Amino acid sequence: MPSDWTFLSNYGHVLVALARDPDARMRDVAEQVGITERAVQQIVADLVEEGYVEKVKLGRRNQYRLADNMNFRHRLETEVRIEDFLTLMTGRVTSGRW
């Protein structure tokens, strides 16, 4: 019986997708993560509200800048920096986004 669970939540997946492509449309992120566009919009709104993502309007499009100087929120992971996680997941150093 196959299981479809993953180690990351949809929040983690959205963060990785935006780190890989800061100019991505919500539709594209939704397709990559495997959730609805509305769910991505809500996750991005939450990440913006908590300071993990900055949404910058560029013409008719948005660009997403990640606050890589912050740490994970859960008490088991508070020592893990977003920058280190995104470097691991994308293979690129993300320092200096903000």
Q: What pLDDT sits at residue 26? A: 97
* pTM of the model as a whole: 0.88
Model confidence pLDDT, tens digit, residues 2-49:
688 899 999 999 999 999 999 999 999 999 999 999 999 999 999 999
- Quick one: average pLDDT of 84-88? 93
- Quick one: average pLDDT of 69-94? 90
Share the mean pLDDT of the chain.
91
Residue 36, C-beta contacts closer than 8 angstroms, at least 6 positions apart: 30
Q: Which two tokens stand for residue 62?
A: 């948005």
Question: Can you spell out the DSSP letters for 32-71?
Answer: HHTS-HHHHHHHHHHHHHTTSEEEEEETTEEEEEE-TTSB
Q: What pLDDT sits at residue 98? A: 44
Q: What angle do CA 88, 6, 86 make, to 5 degrees?
A: 20
In SS3 terms, 5-17 reads as CCCCCHHHHHHHH
